Structures are given as structure tokens and as C-alpha cells.
Amino acid sequence: MPAIHLDKISTKAPKKHDKEKIKAKTVQLIEELDDLQNLLFAESKHAILVIIQGMDASGKDGTVRNVFGKLNPQGVLVSSFKVPTALELSHDFLWRIHEHAPAKGSIQVFNRSHYEDILITRVHKSCSDPVAKTRMKAINEFEDLLVKHNNTNILKFYLHISPEEQQIRLKERIKNPQKQWKYNQKDFEEAKLWKLYMKAYQDCFTHCNAVPWTIVPSDQNWYKEYIVASALHTLLKGLNMQYPGLKK
């Protein structure tokens, strides 16, 4: 695939889109997703893995809450992968990931994922370029395993915000009492490494693209949530699922 240059991709919704109309479409999509997820669970032939990546304050938590939070909690699981524990570090980097791979009939959301091990580790130089290349190959094989051996459908989203929007959101965490619990001074330090993160992400998109990435303009939450909901809706509709009949 052609190289992706994030600085050439808009972080905003196309001007042709009307905010209120898109929000209404999103509501309708999520209502239909509720039925589709029930069908997915009942048929239990397909597994869904949704990977959500993005810089701090790109809206990962909000996407999980507003798109997947309205679905039946029995069929949706969310896993977040933060700094590895000592036990996790004593294993290969995918060890802690594999146990969270989705079962047939379920939707598994990764709010940050195995890609952190070729992103933040690379930016902070705890993972060399040769090791990163080896890990990318392992990631491709891992995703191929899920697709071919457990009928897993994978959606990968990068929530694309501008550095200006990121600063606005990080500063809001200081002022807004409802968001102060998210405040972390370290986020401002990480923001200074923006160019290094963009380089790492772009390399990731180039070398881990057997399952394609969707670059989601995310400066406006209403458009971000529409894109994610729409992609999931299209995927589930395309599976042509059917409710099982009476058991004999």
C-alpha cells in the first residue's frame, strides 16, 4: 500500500457533512448494531476484534463508551493494555494479548493494544528498530492466525487528532471536574514527542497492513463515532448471519 503521511490527512470531518444529520445517523446505526450483535452472539460463527489506537486525548475511551456501551454487555468485552507487569515482561510480548482474543459470537475491543509494543516502546527506545521489525512480523502472523483459524474479523482504527486539539483536551482535564481524574502531567511530556510518535505510527501502518487501518478524523467526536459505528455496522451486515433454528 502507498505510504501514509498523517500530516497530509485532515483531522476534521469533511465540510459537506452536517453535524446533526451525522449524529442522527449514528444513533440509528447503534440501534441496528444492537440487533446485529445479538445475531452475532446467537449464531456464534464469527469473532470480532476492534483495535483502537491513538495519541493521548484522541478519544479512545469516549469511542468505547458511546459506540459499544449501548450494546449488550454479555457480548462485548473491552481490554486495555498499559505498562506490562513483571510477569508479563517475563513472557513474549503477545502473551498477555492472546488470552483476550475474541471468542466466536463476541466483540472484543482493544483500547490500546499489541501495537503499543512497537509504538511507545520504540519512541522511548526500549525497543530497537530491528526488534520492532521482528515484532511487526509477529503481529502480522498473530492477526493472520486469528483470521484464518478462529474466523475472526478485525477492524483497526487510528483516531487521528491534531496536536492543537490534543492540547485543548489535555488542558480541559485540568479545568473540568468531570475529567480531572484523567489528568496526568506525563501526557504533556509525551505530547512533546509528537513527531516521533507520528513516525512510529506511519511505519506501523506500512508494515502491519494485511488487515487495513482506518484513519479516523477525530477532532470532532460526533464524526469519529460515526466512522467507527459505520465500519462495524458494514462488517456485521456483510457477514450474512442467520439465527439458528430449533435444536434437534
Each residue's pLDDT tens digit, 17-66: 999 999 999 999 999 999 999 999 999 999 999 999 999 999 999 999 99
Provide the Cα torsion 161, 165, 169, 174; round to 10°: 140
pLDDT band, very low/low/confident/very high, at 1 (cuts 50, 70, 90)? low
What per-residue confidence (pLDDT) applies to 197?
98
Q: What gap in Å lies between CA 160 and CA 215, rounded to an integer?
A: 6
- Please state the rounded mean pLDDT for residues 150-178: 96
Is the whole model's pTM more than 0.85, yes or no?
yes
Query: With 80 as the cut, is the pLDDT of residue 2 above it?
Result: no
- Please state the rounded mean pLDDT for residues 143-163: 98
Q: What structural domains does the chain harbor?
A: 19-238 (3.40.50.300)
